[in-house]
Amino acid sequence: MKPKAFLGQLDHERIVTAIREAEGRSRGEVRVHVSSQQVEDAQAAARRQFEKLGMAETAERNGVLIYVAPASQKFAVIGDSGIHEHCGSGFWTAVADAMQEDFRKGLFTDGLVKGVTRTGQALAEKFPRTEAADRNELSDDVSED
């Protein structure tokens, strides 16, 4: 699918609302990025984008990126070291599997919201929100290249 067509199908407001809700219950950061690039390895591309977006700079290393490359029909869910050490690889696979069910049906917004929500639940459990320590370190908007 062409990236512009994919972006046009997304309900950005619903996705941003899900991100804000996830971050509102935790000290973590969640980003959704849509790439216009063809990628062979979505995990590697997601790691590169993670760095470009400054996600490795969060205070507690608890940022999560949902990376989608619609031109390649690939996506990845990755977390920084702080959240990964709590959740492990199986968690990211489970989130991706849940999203893929919706993606296969063409329900892209639903899949992204599901991924953000599940990620937010893990962040809330491992990094619960504390008013004194929380600040929004990264943009909540869906980014694209």
Render each residue's pLDDT in the chain as its tens digit; 145 residues: 887 888 888 999 999 999 999 999 999 999 999 999 999 999 999 999 999 999 999 889 999 999 999 999 999 999 999 999 999 999 999 999 999 999 999 999 999 999 999 999 999 999 998 865 556 666 667 888 8
CA distance 137 to 132: 14
Using DSSP bridges, classify how beta strands 143-144 and 74-79 pair: parallel, antiparallel or unpaired: unpaired
CA distance 35 to 140: 16
Non-local CB neighbours of 121 within 8 Å, separated by 6+ positions: 22
In this predicted structure, what is the pLDDT of residue 93? 94
Give 3-128's CATH code, choosing from 3.40.50.10700, 3.90.230.10, 3.40.50.720, 3.10.310.50: 3.10.310.50
Residue 63 · residue 29 · CB < 8 Å: yes
CA distance 137 to 145: 20
In this predicted structure, what is the pLDDT of residue 16? 94
> pTM for the whole thing?
0.92
In this predicted structure, what is the pLDDT of residue 134? 58
Encoding tokens for residue 144? 């694209």
Residue 60 · residue 41 · CB < 8 Å: no
In this predicted structure, what is the pLDDT of residue 91? 94
In this predicted structure, what is the pLDDT of residue 137? 66
Residue 61 · residue 45 · CB < 8 Å: no
Which one, of 70, 79, 63, lies nearest residue 38 by Cα? 70
In this predicted structure, what is the pLDDT of residue 143? 82
In this predicted structure, what is the pLDDT of residue 132? 58
